Structures are given as C-alpha cells and as structure tokens.
C-alpha cells in the first residue's frame, strides 16, 4: 500500500477522527481502488491511464491516489476506509467484487462520493455505478473470430459467471456463428480476474483441445503469450496489447474510462454530482476497437468495421432476434431487441453454446 496513505489513515484512526472537510482552495482528493496490477496491459492499466487523464485535465485542482492488487473482500473495505480517512472526496472502485465493500463504506461516510465499476447496486445516495457495454465490442471480435478460425473451435477464457461475462460469451458466439455456422465455443472458467498463471493454463488447455482462436474476459497478457507460442489468433482485452501486434493479436477491445472519470470529477467540483447508473458503449467511446491487423482478410476487416459502425449509429443491436435460449426455447422473435433489464441480469447461454454456466 502507498506508504503516505497508510500513515495518514493510521493517524486518523488513532485520533478517532475523520478527515476534515476540504477547504475551498484545496485540491479535490480522488482515490482509485484496483483489483490488479497497473503494469500488465489490461483492465487495471486502462483504469490507471484514465486516472492520469484526470490529473492532466485538472492539473493542481485535483490530487489522485491509488492502491493496486486489492482483493475483493474485507481488504477492499479497509482500503476504502483508509482512503476516506486520508481525505478522499471521490473514490472509484474498479471491480465488480467491490460492490458490497463500496456500499458498506459509503454508508459510513455519506459526504464522500463513491463510483463503483460494473456493479448494479447503489444502496446509498452517495454511490453511483458505471459500466461499459463490452458485449458490443465482443460482437465485433466474435464476427472476426468466426471468419478466422480454421479448426472451427474458438476458446474462451471466462472469469466469473456473472451477467457481464455471460453477455460477452453470448455476443461473441452469436456473431461468430452468423458468419460460420460450424463454429464451436469452448469456455474455461478460471474464477479470477487477474492470475497470469491460471490464465496461461486455461489458454494452453484450449489450444490442446484444438482451438485456433483464443478470446478472454480476464485481465493479463498471459493468454496472448500462449497464443503467440502456439501461433493461434487472439484478441487484446481491455487494452490494445499492441506489443503482440500484428500477431497473435489481430484486434482488441479497449476500455476508455477517461471521459467518464473527468466528467464525474467535474461534477463533484461543481456540486452537481448525483447518484446515477451509467452503461455506455461504442457510440460514446467507452468501448473502443483497436486497429484491425492486416492478418485479417480485407473483406473481413471491412465487414467488422461495418458491424461496429451499425452498433455505434444505433441501426443494429448485437442481441436482435431471432434468438433462442440454450435449451431451444424462444427468447427473441425475428427483429426483436433484447431489453437492458434482461441483459443486465443475463444468466443463460444462447442456443448453440455447449456446457453449463457454473453456479
């Protein structure tokens, strides 16, 4: 943990005092809680790039701090509490598993604003949630995967069986199957967001099963390294992972939190901050697509871009019927679009995906 942060928090705890209210001319204190390591290109790296964008945008008007590699549990609550006691006015908690801790600390400190990434609960008026429509980007790379596979086996490394991850698998498979009816998805659940060793083992297991395309909803570059050694196709996750370009990385989903972080910081400064739920995608720029590799055939690059453009302009939704559930029962009729409520709580595979979603 940051030594200064730890010292200040300990002092405040010893005195039994919360941090004093921010003076008018004092910089806004903005804290970030990270589930992984900044150094590995991926989820945490992109959140930190956006933290740096906040510093650049506001200059001396803000001071930011962060703690990385914070487990999703009691440690998260302790870290958030220490941030508050050190003077934080606004805290971004950047992983789904921080939901309970975020709401617990927010209840104790109603004058501090909390922003929770990818969660769905804001139990208190000083909590907001924000997430990205990652499934929009996964639809595009699923389209590419369906074209690129020669074995017709696409491997998918999944983190936790939560709606965000299930949506991504369904979106990718739906759009891979649309261009390749013979495609098969094999999903390995690793129950971690960031564990390079586990992610590498999962990638290798999928390669051993015949997958020649690897997709992931985990945060490290380890699967990309395995893909490079096996000479199979892979996609950047959260970051462009450009050091693997032009191969095995042929495209990427990039998370861009900077505009949101700047906007919410400004709202605290202006006194206009309100508790809201935000779910943005390709059109507002929260989900970006990295440059398509020339290893992708030109006509596929063009069709993938057209798909992305249609999602961005609203003329196409990645979950448009006809679509059935995995058991063959009807879900969406011809032309029907999935509602956000169903997508937010998605707990089922679509027809064609084999295997079960773990409990």
| pLDDT level of residue 147 (50, 70, 90 thresholds) | very high
CATH topology for 134-254+287-344? Rossmann fold (3.40.50)
In angstroms, the CA 17 to CA 30 distance is 20
Q: Does this chain's domain 3-132 share its CATH topology with 134-254+287-344?
A: yes
**What pLDDT, in 10s, does the model give residues 201-237?**
999 999 999 999 999 999 999 999 999 999 999 999 9
In angstroms, the CA 106 to CA 122 distance is 9
Which of residues 13 and 275 earns the better pLDDT score? Answer: 275
**What pLDDT, in 10s, does the model give residues 236-265?**
999 999 889 889 999 999 999 999 999 999
In angstroms, the CA 30 to CA 218 distance is 26
Pairing of the two strands 323-324 and 330-332:
antiparallel
CA dihedral defined by 178, 153, 230, 290, rounded to 10 degrees?
20
Given a cut of 80, is residue 167 above it in pLDDT? yes
Pairing of the two strands 323-324 and 184-189:
unpaired
Q: What does the pLDDT average to over 253-282?
A: 98
Given a cut of 70, is residue 132 above it in pLDDT? yes
CATH code assigned to 3-132? 3.40.50.2300
What residue ranges do the domains of the chain occupy?
Answer: 3-132, 134-254+287-344
């Amino acid at each position: 943990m940051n030594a200064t942060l730890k010292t200040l928090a300990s002092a405040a705890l010893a005195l039994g005092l919360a941090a004093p209210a921010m003076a008018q001319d004092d910089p806004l204190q903005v804290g970030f809680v990270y589930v992984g390591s900044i150094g590995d290109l991926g989820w945490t790296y992109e959140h930190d790039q956006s933290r740096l964008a906040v510093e650049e945008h506001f200059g001396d008007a803000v001071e930011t701090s962060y703690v990385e590699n914070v487990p999703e549990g009691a440690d998260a609550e302790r870290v958030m509490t220490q941030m508050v006691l050190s003077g934080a006015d606004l805290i971004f908690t950047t992983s789904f598993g921080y939901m309970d801790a975020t709401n617990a600390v927010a209840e104790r400190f109603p004058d501090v604003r909390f922003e929770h990434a990818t969660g769905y609960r804001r139990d208190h008026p000083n909590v907001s949630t924000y997430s990205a429509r990652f499934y929009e980007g996964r639809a595009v790379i699923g389209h590419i995967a369906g074209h690129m596979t020669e074995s017709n086996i696409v491997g998918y490394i999944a983190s936790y069986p939560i709606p965000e991850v299930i949506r991504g698998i369904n979106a990718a498979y739906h759009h891979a199957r649309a261009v390749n009816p013979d495609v098969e998805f094999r999903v390995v659940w690793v129950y971690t967001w960031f564990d390079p060793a586990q992610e590498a083992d999962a990638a290798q297991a999928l390669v051993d099963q015949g997958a020649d395309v690897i997709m992931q909803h985990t945060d490290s570059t380890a699967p990309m390294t395995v893909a490079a050694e096996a000479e199979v196709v892979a996609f950047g996750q959260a970051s462009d992972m450009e050091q693997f370009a032009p191969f095995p990385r042929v495209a990427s989903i990039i998370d861009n939190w900077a505009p949101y972080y700047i906007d919410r910081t400004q709202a605290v400064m202006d006194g206009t901050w309100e508790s809201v739920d935000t779910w943005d995608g390709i059109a507002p720029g929260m989900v970006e697509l990295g440059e398509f590799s020339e290893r992708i055939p030109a006509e596929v690059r063009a069709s993938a871009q057209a798909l992305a453009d249609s999602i961005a302009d609203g003329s196409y939704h990645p979950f448009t019927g006809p679509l059935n559930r995995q058991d063959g029962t009807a879900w969406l009729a011809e032309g029907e679009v999935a509602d956000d409520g169903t997508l937010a709580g998605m707990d089922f595979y679509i027809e064609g995906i084999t295997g079960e979603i773990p409990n």
